[in-house]
Amino acid sequence: MDTSHPILFFDGVCNLCNGAVQFILKHDRRGELRFASLQSDIAEELLPRYGIDPKDLNSVVLYQKGKVYTRSTSVLKTLELMGGPLSYLAIFGIIPRQIRDFFYNYVSHHRYNWFGKRENCMLPRPEWKTRFLEG
Calculate the alpha carbon distances from 54 to 11, 41, 42, 61, 69 in Å.
Answer: 9, 10, 10, 9, 13
pLDDT band at 122 (very low <50, low <70, confident <90, very high): low
pLDDT, one tens digit per residue, over 11-36 is 999 999 999 999 999 998 888 999 99
- The H or E element that residue 102 is part of is helix 97-115
Contact 54/16 with Cβ under 8 angstroms? no
CA-based nearest residue to 36, from 67, 66, 79, 3: 3
Residue 99 CA to residue 119 CA, distance in Å, equals: 32
Calculate the alpha carbon distances from 50 to 15, 41, 69 in Å.
Answer: 26, 15, 10
pTM over 0.85: yes
Residue 37 CA to residue 9 CA, distance in Å, equals: 5
DSSP labels for 10-30? E-TTBHHHHHHHHHHHHH-SS
In sequence order, what are the beta bridge partners of 33? none
pLDDT band at 87 (very low <50, low <70, confident <90, very high): confident
Contact 54/47 with Cβ under 8 angstroms? yes
